[in-house]
Structure 1
């Protein structure tokens, strides 16, 4: 049983990092544009997730329109951000924004951090600021802002999905409900619409495999993981994306990215570890 959980969790993290790699590879190395990538990703994800739900006897898709809007905001901002971001830097910004958003929500609901947790949060924020400081290796400000927006949207989506009795059915429904929002996006950027077979292939892989199958695998592992374990294991995603981006896409592992990753991921790990000890007590 434990081996199964480890394998499922590892595959899910590879799928999450794969979204960053596939998006960056498509937008930097093929003719596809960000709007078309977003559309193909959401369409293929909706199809695969709906098929997975349909395979279960008596199951129906769920979800809601507010969550679908947050999902669309995440997917669109994610694609446009990767026009000028490396895979590793993008994943780090995304992950940092997601965790900051969820911690901020907890603070707003009355949760307070201990001194060590505050130190960890300060380290994470400092790491993001280090990455964003002007310089030769700093990410483009507009793209960085879009990725932070994508992280905020994903945090909202995640918070709205807490407590779903059937998260797979809810995600399938949210993907389906996100599709009408594609029409105004494609209309606004209709002059830039363009794609080739390789770019479309990457987008379909991102939607069907890294998103659709990836989410299904993650939901199969989640019941066997504690909430803090589930949060902690996602610390690996930016590291996987950065290393794979360097090996597969030829992206540079700059000292700034490495230091920022250490500060952000170490800080968040400290927050989660202290919280875990407090929960255990």
Structure 2
């Protein structure tokens, strides 16, 4: 892999993990509420992506569509409300696992066949998520965990809706622009409960502009230099980076349950991706 692509890929993965860290940090350590965080993140992301499109040598109009915007809004809102109670690493693992499994299940629904290794990998990943949700002292709150699973399913749907829609940056910018008013409406419905402070506002702006807007732009710059299997596999690092960041920066515990579940989920998905790569090369 060329050094430039390697650097861009590493920066993109750090940005994706940073979204989880910034959201959890804002909701745990500042006065901002989940609805305000979501609205500010999406509005700032839309503005950043619009500016990036305007700065291109060849200007590209914003694209996107309402189904994609609804899926993006559902992801962002469920993501924020789930992080009111979830630790960073647990949330990232639930999100990532749900994204990958929902896309795998969609492929099965459309008639895609899984070999033995891929079937075992899918079962292992699903079992890892279920094990994380089983009752116990280190189990995450069920309602918050289900919200994060919903966020992952919504992001999986968003990814599927975006296939073949044209320039990824233009599509994402258009979807962010459409989703921002939806987040504002959500915030208005919760107006008596809204709250924020300077620190919370800064974290939301950073999440929208840097780890969302700029992060996606970096990822789209790296994608042409990656094979599909590489692009999928490298994202296995995101929950690990988020868990390490939560432990180092927020003092969150790396429980044995989380470590075992992460091994099962990420190992299972790696099995599926590896079997796909072998089939593509045969």
So what's the TM-score if we normalise by structure 2? Answer: 0.98
- After the TM superposition, which residues 1-281 of structure 1 pair with which residues of structure 2 at under 5 Å, given as runs? 2-56=2-56, 57-281=58-282
- Output the CA distance in 2 between the equivalents of 1:188 and 1:270: 44
* Runs of 4 or more above 2 Å deviation: none
Measure how far apart 1:144 and its partner are: 0.3
- Output the CA distance in 2 between the equivalents of 1:163 and 1:101: 19
Are the counterparts in 1 of residues 78 and 148 from structure 2 also a CA contact under 8 Å? Answer: yes
Are the counterparts in 1 of residues 39 and 184 from structure 2 also a CA contact under 8 Å? Answer: no
Moved more, 183-192 or 106-115: 183-192
Measure how far apart 1:188 and its partner are: 2.1
Give the match's secondary structure for 2:90.
Answer: helix
- Output the CA distance in 2 between the equivalents of 1:207 and 1:11: 16
Give the match's secondary structure for 1:53.
Answer: helix
Unaligned 5+ segments in structure 1 are: none
Q: Deviations over 1:45-77 (max 9, x none)?
A: 000000000112331111001100100000000
Measure how far apart 1:228 and its partner are: 1.4
- Output the CA distance in 2 between the equivalents of 1:80 and 1:258: 24
So what's the TM-score if we normalise by structure 1? Answer: 0.98
Moved more, 99-108 or 175-184: 175-184
Q: Deviations over 1:228-262 (max 9, x none)?
A: 11111000000000011000000000000000000
Measure how far apart 1:115 and its partner are: 1.0
- Output the CA distance in 2 between the equivalents of 1:247 and 1:147: 22
- Output the CA distance in 1 between the equivalents of 2:270 and 2:89: 18
- Output the CA distance in 2 between the equivalents of 1:62 and 1:209: 21
Aligned residues: 281
Q: Deviations over 1:82-102 (max 9, x none)?
A: 000000000000000000110
- Output the CA distance in 2 between the equivalents of 1:58 and 1:12: 23
Q: Deviations over 1:3-51 (max 9, x none)?
A: 0000000000000000000000000011000000001100110000000
- Output the CA distance in 2 between the equivalents of 1:27 and 1:193: 12
Measure how far apart 1:181 and its partner are: 0.8
Measure how far apart 1:215 and its partner are: 0.1
Moved more, 183-192 or 208-217: 183-192
- Output the CA distance in 2 between the equivalents of 1:141 and 1:165: 38
Are the counterparts in 1 of residues 77 and 183 from structure 2 also a CA contact under 8 Å? Answer: no
Measure how far apart 1:165 and its partner are: 2.6
Q: Deviations over 1:199-223 (max 9, x none)?
A: 1100100000000000000000001
Q: Deviations over 1:112-165 (max 9, x none)?
A: 111111111111011101110001110101100100000010001000111233
